[in-house]
Every structure is written in C-alpha cells, then in structure tokens.
Structure 1
Amino acid sequence: MKLDGSCHCGAVRFSLASAHPYPFNYCFCSICRKTQGGGGFAINLGGDAASLKIEGEENISVYQAKLEGDEVSPARRHFCKHCGSALWVHDPRWPELIHPFASAIDTELPAAPERTFLMVGSKKAWVPLEAGPQDKVFDDYPEESIADWHRRLGLES
C-alpha cells in the first residue's frame, strides 16, 4: 500500500510503500510520550526504506533519544523543524525499514482487527488504557514484530 504523509504546517511531505499499514501497535514508552504526545502513545507502521520519497527534506530535524545513563539510541526520529510534527523513525540496525508515525499519514489507513499495547509499564496514570477482548497488553516490548503481526492475521499487502 502506498502511504502519503506530511507534517502539520505542510513544509514536509513524504510517501513510501508499506506491506504493514495497519495501525495496531500503541507504544506508551517515555520517548514516544514525550516526543509525540498523542494521548500518551504513538503508533508506528512498517514501511520500505528504499521507497521513501521526501519533499521539503531541508525542513527535517532528527532526534536520537537518550537512554539510560549517557547512552544514545541509534534510532533516528525525524520531525518537522518548523511545526514539530513527528514523521518517522529509522534505525540503522534495520536499514531496510522506515517506521512512519500513523499520526503523520494522510492516506486513509485500514482499521486493525486487534491492537497491541506495549511499554504499558511506562504508561502514566492519566492515560486510559481501553483494551478490547482481542487486544494484547505488554509491560515491555512483545516478541511479535510489526511484520509478524500482519502475517499472523493475513493482512500483508
């Protein structure tokens, strides 16, 4: 599926191909919560890095999150330097992947038949967790990848 996305102010537009376009993975870690907001969670999709096309690349800044101690995450969070919109994450450990934030995607996304709530151990008390009977909840990261979730449910495009 082709995904088109943009920042809020329109300075950055991008597109990429995604075999994993269902927004199902709700992350409650402090990095997602503090860099993106969105109700205390962020939703990442899976995309093909080789297909990424960007207009307004000069308007993008990158943030690498601080981890425990002085360690810096290798993951690079791309955002608009004008309006602050979170756009995507790229991690050099998986160079073939781009993880766009569902909040930056303008293409109508399909509804997920079940959701995964991860890093719930980092969730703040003010954030409601409304898991349905089919949903899965994890204090940390689940073993199942975005690609594996789509494969298990027969949702790869």
Structure 2
Amino acid sequence: MILTGGCRCGAVRYEVETEAQLPVYACHCHQCQRWSGSVFSLQALVPEAALTVEGPLTVYEKTTEDRTSTQRICATCHTRIYNTNTRRLGIAVLRAGTLDETAALDCKAHIYTAYKQDWIELPEGVAQWAESPPPDEFIAALMK
C-alpha cells in the first residue's frame, strides 16, 4: 500500500510504500518536546528507500558525540517531515503526524519516558523505556 502525507502548507508531499499500517512510537525527550512544541513527538521508522519526497526541503544537521541527525524540514512552513541519523543507516524517522490519514495509527511504544510530563499517563501494556531502548527490544515492540 502507499501512504501519503506532507507538510501543513502543502509545498512538500511524500509517499511511503509499505505492506501494513506503520507502527508508531512516542518520544518524550526534551529535544522532541522542543522540536514539536508539544509533550512528545509521534514517529514511525520506515526504510529510507520506501520514502519518496517532493517539494522544497531544508536540511538541518545536529551532531552529538555519537551520531549526526539530519532533519528534513519544509523550506516554506518549516514542518519537520523526517530525519535520518548515522546510527541507523537506511532508516528514516517519519513524523507520523504529517501522514494524511492518522486515525488508524497505533502507538506501540514510548521512549525517553524519564523526561515525559508528569501529567501524561501512559497506557498499560504499551512498551516503554526511561531512556533509549535496546534496539532489538524496541523493534520487537514496534512489530507487535
């Protein structure tokens, strides 16, 4: 199936080729809170090769001690569309809220919960980690 999405002004549009609805997760880290202007960022991991983007993008890179994160942002309205990083080659972290159809999204995990707002209650039975999850456990939670 083809999932579509884009930025809020419509200048950037994308398609994701996938066999099923995307599993999404919420990141509660302070960087995601600041980037989104909200209490968490809702994201989906997709193979970068499955993502086709059209429209004007601005690229922003942030380097920390262990990786470089490359953000792709609409050059017109500055909506974050996706990012990649040097620790997960070939994987795009898509901002799930930019999908055209979001009603069927199912949040499978919460990460960096040590930084979540105290008034947010996480659902029972949903995988969660206080910091960055072990990759194998994280992928297993997303595939449930």
Normalised by the length of structure 1, the TM-score is 0.76
- Give the conservation status (yes or no) of the 8 Å contact 1:16–1:49: no
Counterpart of 2:77 in 1: which secondary structure?
coil
Partner of 1:50, secondary structure, is helix
Alpha carbon RMSD of aligned pairs, Å? 2.3
Is the strand fraction higher in 1 or 2?
A: 2
Given candidates 109, 113, 119, the residue that maps to 1:120 is: 113
Counterpart residue number, 2:57: 60
Q: For the residues of structure 2 that align with 1:137 and 1:52, how far apart are their CA atoms?
A: 27
What's the counterpart of residue 132 of structure 1? 123
User: Cα distance, 1:108 vs. partner?
Assistant: 4.2
Aligned partners of 2:67 and 2:87 also within 8 Å: no
Q: CA separation in 2, counterparts of 1:73 and 1:95?
A: 11
74, 82, 94: which is aligned to 2:76?
82
Deviations 1:56-95 (A, max 9, x none): 1xx211222354xxx5841211111221211111123333
Letter in 2 for 1:64: E
> Structure 2: how far apart are the matches of 1:133 and 1:86?
29
Q: Secondary structure at the match of 2:53?
A: strand
Contact 1:22 1:109 in 2 (8 A): no
Q: Percent identity?
A: 21
3-state DSSP of counterpart to 2:23: coil
Counterpart contact for 2:67–2:86, Cα < 8 Å: no
Structure 1 Cα separation of the partners of residues 73 and 96 of structure 2 = 13
**SS of 2:32 mapped into structure 1:** helix
TM-score, normalised with respect to structure 2: 0.81
